[in-house]
Structure 1
Amino acid sequence: MQHLLPHADHREHAIVLAAGLHWSVIGEFTSPPSGSTAAFIASDVRLVNDDGSETADMLHHLAPVFVAQLERQVIESLLEERRGAA
């Protein structure tokens, strides 16, 4: 399950499935130099509980490799949404 939700102030919000759990990820895309690819940088990562509630921000408690995985999944989700809208 991956889907992108709009968020204020140019931030993106997606719910992604990783490690068998749903994660709420908020962040922004970087403005890359000419010829480079934009990157998504997470600023808030929360575990989504079975009842739909979310934990406090866990970004600084998660392994950087796992956060990078979540960031890649947000990018994939955004691309899927754009393809579906076209």
Structure 2
Amino acid sequence: MTVMGRYYRFSKKVTDEQVKLIEKEMRQLEDVESVEVTKDHTFLKVVTKDDQFAEVMSKAVNICNRHANGTEISFARFATA
């Protein structure tokens, strides 16, 4: 099993506009390879360069909190191929 990324669960529902802001800012992070929010706005899928999850996700917590009115994220599962 090859780990491709990780899914993080939002603590509450996020809007389309919040998703756009979160994805835009996350994509600007140096160690992010890809980021997307699931269609139902329940999960944030993150793939990092060189398995740099600790650094990226500490920034992601602040990004989600700022753009989605205090929304928190927590690890849900690994995203595999």
Normalised TM-score (structure 2): 0.30
State the TM-score, normalizing by the size of structure 1.
0.29
Larger Rg: 1
Going by fraction, where is helix more abundant, 1 or 2? 2
- Specify which structure has the bigger relative contact order, considering alpha-carbon pairs within 8 angstroms and separated by 6 or more residues: 2
